[in-house]
Amino acid sequence: MSKQLEVVKLNEKGDAVIILDQTKLPNHEEYLTLTKEPEMWQAIKLLQVRGAPAIGVFAGYAMAALAQSLKELPYDSFKEKFDALADHLNTSRPTAVNLSWALNRMKKFVSDHKEDTAELCADLIKEAKTINAENLAMNQKIAEYGVTLLHEGDGILTHCNAGYLACLGYGTATAPMYLAHEKGMHIHVYSDETRPLLQGARLTSYELYKAGIDVTSICDNMASLVMKQGKIQCVMVGCDRIAANGDFANKIGTSGAAILAKYYGIPFYTLGPSSTIDFNTPTGKEIKIEMRDPEEVGEMWYKEPMILKEIKKFNPSFDVTDHELVSGIVTERGIVYPPFQENLKKLFRK
Ligand code: MRU
């Protein structure tokens, strides 16, 4: 794997989480050290740490670090305070299921280990590191399954950033691209800019370029043109929550790319680990879509506001892609094809 920046880690003492501040990329590589829950909450909210799986890993580390300040407490008050911190952290962003998944796993670990709290704190660090290691291993498997969908010379369209900055390791949507590149295949990636927060422009094109992968950054409204020109052989995107029927939420603009792909007859895949599948959400209709500050649309990344203050703006951060537009879901256990309702269950609910 090519050299990567460290996205999220625990400090040596285990009482702080160190993150790469992704709002500063691609021009500045700056790190933040977080020790208190409000600053961790804010780091998620402001997208200093972002991308569904990376948020999950961050949440594990955050709870392990916060636990250190509670280690003098007897078990019952430790658990009460630990759960309250986790519940509050869970309110930072609603759409990616990985956040609540990781927080619930850390809470369950505490419930299952009624032991001396100093010992429990040490074990929580191990549990958080396990979440990270499992995530890396899942991305490796996603790379192996995903690369079977690619051919020499393929053009691939991706939206937002589901690379190592969002998911660590190989990333998810980028995993087959990294592996194809390692195998010496020639692929060309078109990276949608991803308005309004520009994760595709600032992050995906940056990380693929640094890895030596042939990448072209395009504005979101150019996707139809490159498809029509025959430059795209498949679309690969990440996911923030996959419902039981295969509908999935991902960055705003993803469903548009899926509709275009259908029109041009191009296969469209979403790639994600099992921690992104939410069997408690029957369909995409039940997925809560994060609404962000409307001013991000007109002001963020510009020197001056580009839309008059008085004009209304609408800023949903995610959309839901209907399962009927999806050719396959690439997971660490294999590629799931339609009918998703049945086949997701078969693979993950044995
Ligand atoms: O708002 P972000 O930057 O956290 O959104 C990221 C995306 O939508 C990614 O494509 C998604 O999290 C999948 S990353 C595996």
Q: What atom in ligand 1 is closest to the CA of residue 53?
A: 15
* 49, 55 contact by CB (below 8 A): yes
For the chain, give the number of residues. 350
- Determine the 3-state secondary structure of 251 from DSSP: strand
The whole-number average pLDDT for the span 136-153 is 97
pLDDT digits (tens, 9 = 90+) for 301-310: 889 999 999 9
Tokens of 273: 């680990």
Distance in angstroms (rounded) separating the CA atoms of residues 237 and 174: 8
Question: What's the half-sphere exposure (Cβ side, CA atoms, 13 Å) at 96?
Answer: 33
CATH number of 8-140: 1.20.120.420
pLDDT digits (tens, 9 = 90+) for 80-114: 999 999 999 999 998 888 999 999 999 999 999 98
* 289, 255 contact by CB (below 8 A): no
CA proximity to 334, closest of 342, 344, 324: 344
Q: What is the residue with the minimal CA distance to atom 2 of ligand 1?
A: 51
Whether pLDDT at 158 is above 90:
yes
Mean pLDDT for all residues in the chain: 96
Whether 240 is catalytic is yes
Whether pLDDT at 70 is above 70:
yes
Q: Name, in order, each residue with C-beta under 8 angstroms of 310's C-beta and a sequence gap of 6 or more.
A: none
Whether pLDDT at 249 is above 90:
yes
Q: Where are the domains of the chain?
A: 8-140, 142-347
Whether pLDDT at 231 is above 80:
yes
pLDDT digits (tens, 9 = 90+) for 11-66: 999 999 999 999 999 999 999 999 999 999 999 999 999 999 999 999 999 999 99
CATH number of 142-347: 3.40.50.10470
Q: What is the residue with the minimal CA distance to atom 8 of ligand 1?
A: 251
Pocket test for ligand 1, best of 195, 198, 199 (most atoms within 8 A of CB): 199
300 — pLDDT class (breaks 50, 70, 90): confident
Tokens of 189: 């990636």
The whole-number average pLDDT for the span 165-174 is 96
Pocket test for ligand 1, best of 48, 55, 193, 240 (most atoms within 8 A of CB): 240
Q: Quick one: CA torsion of 273, 279, 280, 283, rounded to 10 degrees?
A: 100
What confidence score (pLDDT) does residue 350 get? Answer: 60
**Ligand 1 site, residue 194, Cβ cutoff 6 A:** no
At 18, the amino acid letter reads I
Residue 341 Cα to ligand 1 midpoint, Å, equals 23
- Cα dist from 7 to 23, 99, 162, whole Å: 12, 16, 13
Residue 117 Cα to ligand 1 midpoint, Å, equals 35
